[in-house]
Structure formats: structure tokens, C-alpha cells
Amino acid sequence: MTSGGDAAGMNPAVLCAAEQAAKSGMKPYLIYEGLRGLIDDEIYEATKERTKGMLYTGGTLLRSARSTRFFEEKYRQQAFDNLQKRNINKLIVIGGDGSFNALNQFYNDFQVPFAGIPATIDNDIPGTDYCLGVDTCQNMIRTSIDSIRDTANSFNRAFVIETMGRHCGYLAMTTALTCGAEICLVPEIPYDLDSIAKRLKNEVANGRKSLIAIAAEGVRMSDHLTRWINDTLNMDARLTVLGHIQRGGSPTVYDRIMAFKFATAAVESLKAGHTNKIMTFREGQIGTESIDYVAGQKPVVPELILDLCRSLSH
């Protein structure tokens, strides 16, 4: 099943998990509509017809839906009964920490073990350096920024570009660095507009005609920053909110490979009898962490990325 926000790489992970489970002698099923589908019995055998096209399609073909009903015990019982009548006794959930916590409650109620595959463009799940969908999202943002810079250079303009990320600035930081942005505002780094003004006024005086500023949605500064650039630097500034275009797109090679690695590890974890394990990727290696560890930690952006971005915030 897929749950939470959609991310490129979910579909290849579903495909690989179903194929690996079948090779291991299991009978794989697909749960549509996330937690809601678990309750409403949207559960079907993972046939070739149902998994066709998953390798190269973005988003999630199983679709996703949040469900407040899942917080009620009677509906979790209904979900368990739906699994029981098909003899389903193991689950793989592809999503974020909210989805993992929901399945952990389900395990506490009915002892149905699960393996979690981290998938969120925010890259904010503790315990893993990478989550499915991040690379595809970064490339969507990069393509957009590169195109916007063409216009910025053509008209001597400044553009503020808002990226997704909720309370995590990973997307903003990595794309600001790789696209050569002049400003980057994120929740993790205190910013100083006076210092930025001094730096950029000097560059404008020495011939700078355009600039790109990246603001993570979590700082809630996009509108203000656009006006600030216009008033402080006397430069025509425009705001572009990329929005949900960042979630879409055919998964990159990297996201497809990571989907295979995570899915294979999830099947192997369940075969080995593990319960409530989240697949992780750290220092180039696939591993696992307990749901308790993941739920008890805060996501951390690599220090090198933070260090490189500090000069863009001052």
C-alpha cells in the first residue's frame, strides 16, 4: 500500500515488492486508496495487469488517502477482518512517518507485522539519508529554476522561487546550491536580510543584473522576500510558487534503483520475521530501524549542506 503524500518512486517500489514477494512464494495483494482502502476493502491480487506501467509512472497508481476513521478501533478491526479473509498476514507500507505510526498502532492491535519504505519528497524521515521521490523532485525543481533563470537574465529581473518541504529545507538547500541561487531561506538556518542586502548591493554595483532566491515554504517569507528585493535592491522581482509540479514526473533512474533496493529489503525483512521495521539508507548502505527509533528522532540535514548554504542566508 502507499500512504501519505505521493512521491515518484512509489510505483516502482510497489512493482518490485510484488515481484519479489511472488518469487519468495508469497501471494501479493495491492491495497488501493491508502488507509481508507484498507478499511473499505479496496484490496486486489497483484496481477500483471494491475502492475503494468508502474516502472515509469510518477505518483502512485494505488492512489493515497488519509483516513481519520483509522484512529477508531472499530474501523481498524474492519481493516483487519478484510486482511483475514484473504489470509494476508504481512504488510508493506510506502509512505512517511504518519503512515508508519498508523501501521504501528495496527500491529499493536492485531499483531500484523509491517515493513516501511520511506517515500516523501521532503526527505524528512529520521534514520535514513534518503527517501523515495527526492531525486525526481530535485530534478523537477532544477529544470524549473534553470528555465526561470533564462527569463531573469533576459529581463534583468529577480525571481523568488518557493519550494515545498513543510518544516524541512532540504529541497530548497540542495536545489539552491545546484542551481547557483544567490539567496536561500530555510527553517534550519537563521537568515539576515541586512547582511544579504549589503552583499547583493555590492554585486549590483559591480554589474549584477539578475538573481535567483530560493525560499522553503516553511519560512513563510516568499511574498515578503519578493517585495524586499524590489524595494531594497531596486530590482524588478517576481514570485514563482512551484507547488505540486514538484511531486510529479516519471521517476529518475536513481529513484527507480532506490525503489528496487528498498522494496527488496522490505520483503527480506518480513521473510526474516522482523516486525515494525523501517527501511533506511545511510552512508550508501540499505538497513533497517525500528519504528520507535524513527518516531522518536528529528530529521537532520547533513552538516555539509548546511555549511554550504549559510553564505546564501547572510
What distance in Å separates the CA atoms of residue 288 and residue 271, rounded to the nearest whole number? 14
Instruction: Evaluate whether residue 41 is within a structural domain.
Output: yes
Q: Active site includes 192?
A: no
117-to-94, 131, 264, 266 alpha-carbon distances in Å: 5, 8, 10, 7
How many domains is the chain built from?
Answer: 2
Report how far residue 95's alpha carbon sits from residue 60's, in angstroms, rounded to the nearest whole number.
11
In a domain, 175, yes or no: yes
* Domain shared by 97 and 167, yes or no: no
Domain presence at residue 165: yes
Verify that 90 and 236 share a domain, yes or no. Answer: no
Residues 52 and 160 in one domain: no
pLDDT score recorded for residue 66:
82
Which candidate in 122, 124, 135, 255 is catalytic? 122
Please check whether residues 154 and 92 belong to one and the same domain.
Answer: no
Long-range contacts of 298-306 (CB under 8 A, 24+ apart): 298/126, 299/123, 299/124, 299/125, 299/126, 299/168, 300/126, 301/168, 301/169, 301/170, 301/173, 301/188, 302/129, 305/170, 305/173, 305/174, 305/177, 306/173, 306/188, 306/189
Nearest Cα to Cα of residue 100 among 266, 297, 290, 291: 291
CATH code: domain of residue 193: 3.40.50.460
Among 248, 275, 308, identify where a domain stops.
248
Please tell me the predicted confidence (pLDDT) of residue 295.
85
Residue pair 2/119 in contact by the 8 Å Cβ criterion: yes
Q: Please give the pLDDT value at position 9.
A: 96
* Residue 163 neighbours by CB under 8 Å, 6+ apart: 141, 171, 172, 175, 214, 215, 216, 217, 242, 246
Residues 118 and 151 in one domain: no
Residue 279 lies in a domain: yes
Backbone angles phi, psi at 95, to 5 degrees: 175, -145
Say if residue 15 is in the same domain as residue 148.
Answer: no
Q: Specify the pLDDT at position 57.
A: 96
| In a shared domain, residues 26 and 128 | yes
**Residue 1: inside a domain, yes or no?**
no
163 strand-pairing partners: 216
Residues 228, 215 contacting (CB under 8 angstroms) = no
Amino acid identity at 42: E
pLDDT at 290: 94
Asked whether residue 58 falls in the same domain as residue 202, the answer is no
Answer for the pair 120, 127: CB distance below 8 angstroms, yes or no. Answer: no
- Looking at the fold, whether 126 and 18 belong to one and the same domain comes out as yes
Residue 311 lies in a domain: no
pLDDT one digit per residue (tens) for the chain, 314 residues: 999 999 999 999 999 999 999 999 999 999 999 999 999 999 999 999 999 999 999 999 999 988 899 999 999 999 999 999 999 999 999 999 889 999 999 999 999 999 999 999 999 999 999 999 999 999 999 999 999 999 999 999 999 999 998 889 999 999 999 999 999 999 999 999 999 999 999 999 999 999 999 999 999 999 999 999 999 999 999 999 999 999 989 999 999 999 999 999 999 999 999 999 999 999 999 999 999 999 888 888 999 999 999 999 99
> Are residues 77 and 45 part of one domain?
yes
Q: How many angstroms from the chain centroid is the CA of residue 243?
A: 14
Domain boundary among 248, 267, 283: 248
In the chain, count H helices and then E strands. 12, 10
Contacts of 194 (CB under 8 A, 6+ apart): none
Residue 162 sits in the same domain as residue 225:
yes
Q: Are 28 and 21 in contact (CB under 8 A)?
A: yes
What end-to-end distance do the CA atoms of the chain give, in Å? 43
Q: What is the DSSP string of 126-151?
A: TT-S--BTHHHHHHHHHHHHHHHHHH
Q: Which domain holds residue 57?
A: 10-133+251-300
| CATH number of the domain to which 288 belongs | 3.40.50.450
- Whether residue 109 lies inside any domain: the answer is yes
Select from 217, 248, 279 the last residue of a domain.
Answer: 248
Q: Are residues 45 and 139 in the same domain?
A: no
Instruction: Find cell 518512486 and name the residue.
Output: 9
133: Cα within 13 Å, side-chain hemisphere? 32
pLDDT of residue 296: 83
240 lies in some domain:
yes
DSSP string, 17-29: HHHHHHHTT---E
Residue 3 phi/psi, 5-degree rounding, is -150, 155
